[in-house]
């Protein structure tokens, strides 16, 4: 009897190829799209996005999933409605984070709280053994630490292990990642060989409910509440260098789009929501050597781990060496500009395996 697997489909190339690979490997494949967005959802993509043809949209390609399952994959599929949960657990939390002066990471939360959890729950109800996605990550067993988990993908430029670092270890044991040893170019080549309409598929690299260019407009509701009177922009000494309509939506390390001109190149050091002040500093001012986290998750915080420890504060950065100092505090071997409150610190071992994660807290050097 074939093992059954539920594949999370987005209508994109990666999840489609993941489903094809599992079919060719002999699995009995079922498809699922987790619906998290609707035309009436508040705050997100602009009307221009909603006016695009369905195959050009950046989120929830339901018609494309239907088309692919029926015409190319030849597998049954199901739609699972999680729009309300997504609004409450991801979108509302995103707004709240910026209101509190931190920079949330909605993609890691969505994978852990919505997408993968939903797939696992539905698969268990249907007595389906495994779940799979098109994420670029490797299923991995660490001989050194005797742990099952995930590791960085072969294609480091596409690696998504960081975005999966908030998924609990016991859940990851049930998730397959067929693209972990593939490059993006190889995925596209394989899809074309199977006559998949690659050119009609748009790859989304941003949070699905906003683009990197309209965080401030997305948070307009908060701006209206907190923008009575301009925000003050100061340097590290407290000297005023300008005013802006709002600081909501700005993040530590940001240089462009602040709205003030200065002779020196300056970056956001801190967003003080309570006092409506944005503190700016030089590149050196935003470097940190120490950091602390909250909400620790993973074996790093449950058992003694052998070998060296590395950390990533962004998905695209190289993991950098760090040392655990106790009480959820860590020290970097070299200063780094990525320590941003609200973001995720994902920890790795020598084998590029994810050992755990936590949410960055404001620390002594950041307060």
Contact 16, 132 (CB under 8 A): no
Residue from 301, 349, 288 nearest 327 by CA: 301
Contact 80, 29 (CB under 8 A): no
User: Which residues have CB under 8 Å from 30's CB, separation 6+?
Assistant: 4, 5, 6, 7, 75, 76, 77, 78, 126, 128
Contact 254, 205 (CB under 8 A): no
Distance in angstroms between the alpha carbons of the first and the last residue of the chain? 59
Contact 91, 44 (CB under 8 A): yes
* Whole-number Å distance between alpha carbons of 36 and 95: 17
* Whole-number Å distance between alpha carbons of 48 and 56: 11
* Whole-number Å distance between alpha carbons of 105 and 340: 11
Element (H, E) at 233: strand 231-234
Beta-strand relationship, 231-234 and 277-281 = parallel
Distance (Å) of CA 63 to CA 87, 151, 199, 210: 22, 32, 16, 21
Beta-strand relationship, 288-297 and 329-336 = antiparallel
> Which of the residues 60, 69, 107, 110 is marked catalytic?
110
CA angle 139, 143, 146 (to 5 degrees): 85
Q: What is the CA 42 to chain-centroid distance, rounded?
A: 20
> Which of the residues 59, 107, 208, 322 is marked catalytic?
208
* Whole-number Å distance between alpha carbons of 329 and 265: 31
* Whole-number Å distance between alpha carbons of 1 and 346: 38
Q: 234-267 burial, b for 16+ CB within 10 Å, e for fewer?
A: bbeeeeebbebebbbbbbbbbeeebbeeeeeebb
- Known catalytic residue at 110: yes
- Known catalytic residue at 60: no
Active site residues: 110, 208
């Amino acid at each position: 009897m074939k093992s059954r697997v539920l594949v999370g489909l987005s209508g994109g190339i990666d999840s489609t190829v993941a489903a094809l690979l599992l079919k060719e490997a002999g699995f009995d494949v079922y498809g699922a799209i987790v619906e998290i967005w609707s035309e009436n959802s508040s705050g997100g993509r602009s009307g221009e996005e909603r006016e695009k043809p369905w195959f050009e949209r950046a989120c929830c390609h339901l018609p494309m999933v239907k088309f692919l399952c029926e015409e190319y994959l030849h597998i049954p599929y199901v739609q699972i409605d999680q729009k309300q949960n997504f609004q409450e657990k991801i979108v509302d939390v995103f707004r709240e984070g910026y209101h509190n002066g931190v920079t949330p990471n909605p993609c890691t939360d969505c994978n852990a709280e919505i997408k993968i959890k939903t797939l696992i729950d539905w698969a268990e109800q249907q007595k389906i053994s495994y779940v799979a996605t098109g994420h670029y990550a490797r299923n991995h067993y660490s001989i050194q630490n005797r742990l099952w988990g995930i590791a960085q993908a072969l294609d480091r430029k596409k690696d998504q292990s960081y975005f999966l670092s908030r998924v609990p270890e016991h859940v990851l044991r049930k998730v397959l990642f067929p693209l972990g040893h593939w490059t993006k170019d190889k995925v596209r080549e394989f899809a074309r060989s199977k006559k998949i309409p690659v050119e009609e598929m748009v790859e989304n690299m941003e949070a699905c409910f906003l683009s990197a260019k309209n965080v401030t407009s997305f948070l307009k509701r908060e701006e209206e509440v907190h923008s009575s009177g301009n925000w003050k922009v100061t340097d590290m000494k407290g000297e005023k260098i300008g005013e802006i309509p709002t600081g909501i939506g700005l993040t530590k390390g940001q240089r462009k789009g602040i709205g003030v001109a200065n002779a020196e190149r300056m970056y956001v050091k801190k967003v003080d929501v309570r006092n409506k002040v944005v503190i700016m500093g030089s590149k050196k001012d935003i470097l940190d050597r120490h950091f602390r986290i909250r909400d620790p998750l993973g074996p790093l915080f449950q058992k003694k781990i052998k070998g060296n420890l590395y950390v990533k504060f962004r998905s695209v950065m190289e993991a950098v060496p760090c040392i655990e100092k106790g009480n959820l505090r860590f020290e970097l071997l070299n200063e780094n500009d990525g320590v941003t409150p609200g973001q995720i610190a994902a920890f790795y071992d020598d084998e590029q395996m994810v050992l755990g994660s936590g949410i960055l807290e404001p620390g002594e050097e950041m307060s």
